[in-house]
Amino acid sequence: MESDGEQRGDRGGDRPRLFQRLRELPVVGRAADWGLGPAAVSKNTKRAGARIAGLEVTESVCPYCAVGCGQLVYTRDGELVDIEGNPRSPINQGTLCPKGQASRQLIQQPGRLTKVLYRRPHGTEWEELDLERAMDMIAERVIAARENHWQETHENGWRVDRTLGFAHLGGATLDNEENYFIKKLFTALGAVQIENQARI
């Protein structure tokens, strides 16, 4: 975790650094200035302030395309409050595209799953399933597929030491550590049909 990342660095480059000036504006004694105009300044207006001020901020990277924009993730007591571009990142310098801007909604999306859903063979509805139970069931199925479809030799007699009983798809949106685990574990099990979107 880092302290307020917003305060460090700026876009640099040839972007006007006008905004630095604003930060230097006096804020002390602000309250004494309120309400001098003819229009009513409401209580909420007087209390106005950025909801991320003083919050814990974590440095992250956008999960969408491969530009690799830096993100700042603001949280309060374990709740996500805001995700913005990281001004320190030399790649995006605080900016984000619409998808990156919407990434808070990716995490808080209306249909976000929090339970394992299970569909039994020939079933017509989802059922909720305990996570540990699901893990056990999946392990059993992997073992069965491996055992039932083990090939020591190819049909022409060549050694292959593998199973074509199960396959894997996906990886381009995962972490490298996760891809490493997938490749390592499934290769050790003799699986070869391991693929992702990166066939480029």
Interacting positions 91-110 with other proteins (CB under 8 A): 91-110
- Using DSSP's 3-state secondary structure scheme, residue 67 falls into coil
Among residues 168, 172, 179, 129, the alpha carbon closest in space to that of 146 is found at 168
Min. distance of Cβ 128 from other proteins in angstroms? 9
Identity of the residue numbered 185:
L
Give the DSSP H/E element, type plus range, for residue 61: strand 56-61
The yes or no reply on residue 77 touching other proteins (CB under 8 A) is no
Size of the site for other proteins (CB under 8 A): 163
**Which residues, numbered 129-158, are part of the site for other proteins (CB under 8 A)?**
129, 131, 134-139, 141-145, 148-152, 154-155, 157-158
Under rule CB under 8 A, which residues in 16-75 are in contact with other proteins? 16, 18-19, 21-23, 25-27, 29-30, 33-45, 48-53, 58-71, 73, 75
Distance CA 32, CA 46 (A): 10
- Interaction between residue 76 and other proteins (CB under 8 A): no
Shortest Å, Cβ 32 to other proteins = 9
DSSP class of residue 51? T
Structure tokens that stand for 123 in this block: 């079933």
Give the residue from 99, 133, 93 showing the smallest Cα distance to 116: 133
3 binds other proteins (CB under 8 A): no
Minimum separation from the CB atom of position 14 to other proteins (A): 7
Cα separation, 78 vs 55, in Å, equals 11
Least distance in angstroms from the C-beta of 4 to other proteins: 10
